[in-house]
Structure 1
């Protein structure tokens, strides 16, 4: 059997043994997911299973594939009521697979990823799933970073201002054409940055397919996964991004029909209101946060196409991901036009 991309089974087995993991029989490894996110594998022997994650082998954006960040936050959250996979071992310097790697216990369950994954669920089950997702996000934002050793996990002061600047710089790096409305939205965001904002641990990429739910109860989240974008920042950026991911045009960015864009889930407005109730947090300057999330996704879509045109992204629909950019930017402008200070 040929080696999987980015994987060295023998080196992984030796690493596990060196970290006190007894391998029963032979170690097998299979790919769970690859492409634009971190590469994810299931490793298993006759008795146990683990999940191994490492950055992609090409087209790297270091801040988007930070394994040390993912390791730190999942390890810290193990003592909280936020469900995460138990951590096992971390190769910080990349000596095993040629890039930093995390190993966590395999959490059995179900991942709701594609539109078809909803076909066997009732509307009541989907509502229960959405409600629990929002409750988990509210619980995450309620964790005191200092109490779990994450007080230095990020720089919450000026977080939203840096986000605006970061995605504007990213646009200049990845744009495949001139879109005047991008600069228009950027300037409007700069002018509308909230003077005061809250701070919490943020996931940075929260939606249904970045969770594992109980196989028999989709209203129970077994683990939140994909923490490489997490930091200390404004919790409303997490909520707004979760809501903007609900837009059907997000399918163009993913190159697939996503479960989370299905109209069977509650509307973005309903999700935001539920979060406000569950967290006790006011959605102050909500239009700004929606606009920032749209700005970010518009740039991300453009970046996927930029990498496809340069030959470093061959994922499904990669060359057409930028088709969504204009729609996201327009939605951002509309959202910001209703912002009140």
Structure 2
């Protein structure tokens, strides 16, 4: 059994798993497979060779609203019986004395996570078009769900998603030392003044290929990382996906890395057309949500940098990189401002 692993008291967690996960065969081994500024994910392998995935918050700089294990567990459990693919939920531990934080366990899903161009190149060329389209088709299925009907009625908020998000991220970014706080404030005010009418549904909050596993044919087999999930306008998810979706040779930065610059993936226009056709939704307000998500992305990386500067994040060598990424995000905010300006006839 692994004896030392950040975020896991291996002996106590192993005992808890043996008592609470049906069919698990002790002893178990742990391996960190995703860590850093987001929630931590560990591969757990039992004595029979069965693999599980365990999720807990990061060990430093935790924002309760962004690292709520009960929220992730709620969404994964609610969506498991639907046709939206998630990893099978198995057990939830609210007792922080076990390993210093709440955590949950789900079945381990094999698949290729398309986090960047390199991962995109690993997917067969013939499957890349299908992968892009299946990302959209799964998003449509998610947005068709009634939150109350799947047991998520308690998370439906009466106030608008955009207004809540604008308040949250504008408040948090004030603790940052980025050189363009005035620009962030200007774009915040533009966004607040132009909020379109909103509908309501389930919003993942970070919907992109880097938070999914794909089979070799390009089908989505699981969506991960539900830490930002809430209720809100479904176009917020589509706007985030579009804002991440760079095209080959394009100078405009994406809000985060993705596979879409690898040859064979569909372009943004094809994704939007597919979503509009399959969902029947009016997507005319999508440019607003793209601008909103560019601004939000800049606020997020600025906030991460601020937490490093304050010394509340683990010393993982990322501090200087976080500062550089935060300053580079100025371009995203400038693009957001441009997208909100009135179009010339």
TM-superposed deviation, 1:273 = 2.4
Deviation at 1:301, TM superposition (A): 2.1
Q: Tell me the matched-pair count.
A: 334
Q: Mark the runs of 5 or more structure 1 residues left unpaired by the alignment.
A: none
Structure 2, unaligned stretches of length 5 or more?
none
Superposed CA offset, 1:270-299 (max 9, x none) = 322221112111113222211111110111
Within a 5 Å distance, the mapping from 1:119-138 to structure 2 comes to: 119-138=121-140
Query: Tell me, what secondary structure is at the counterpart of 2:190?
Result: helix
Counterpart of 1:288 in structure 2 is 288
Partner-residue secondary structure (3-state), 1:206: coil
Query: Following superposition of structure 1 onto structure 2, how do residues 1-341 of structure 1 map, counting pairs within 5 Å?
Result: 2-45=3-46, 46-194=48-196, 196-214=197-215, 216-218=216-218, 220-247=219-246, 258-260=258-260, 262=262, 265-311=265-311, 312=313, 314=316, 316=318, 317-338=321-342
Give me the TM-score of the superposition, normalised by structure 1.
Answer: 0.90
CA contact (8 A) 2:89 2:107 kept: yes
Contact 1:211 1:224 in 2 (8 A): yes
Give CA-to-partner distance per residue, 1:296-326, whole Å, 9 cap, x none: 0111122232233334264552231113221
In 2, distance between residues paired with 1:156 and 1:238?
A: 19
Tell me how far apart the structure 2 counterparts of residues 250 and 54 of structure 1 sit (CA, whole Å): 31
Aligned-partner Cα distance in 1 for 2:21–2:330: 51
Instruction: Show CA shifts across 1:98-122 (max 9, x none).
Output: 1010100111222222322222434
Q: Describe the superposition over 1:19-78 as per-residue Cα deviations: whole angstroms up to 9, x where unpaired.
A: 153443521110111001100001011231110000000011111111111101110111
With structure 2 as the length reference, what TM-score do the two structures score? 0.89
Equivalent residues of 2:3, 2:10 under 8 A apart: no
C-alpha contact (below 8 Å) 2:73/2:89 kept by paired residues: yes
Counterpart CA distance in 2 for 1:264 and 1:310 is 43
Instruction: Determine the C-alpha separation between the residues in 2 that align with 1:260 and 1:202.
Output: 22
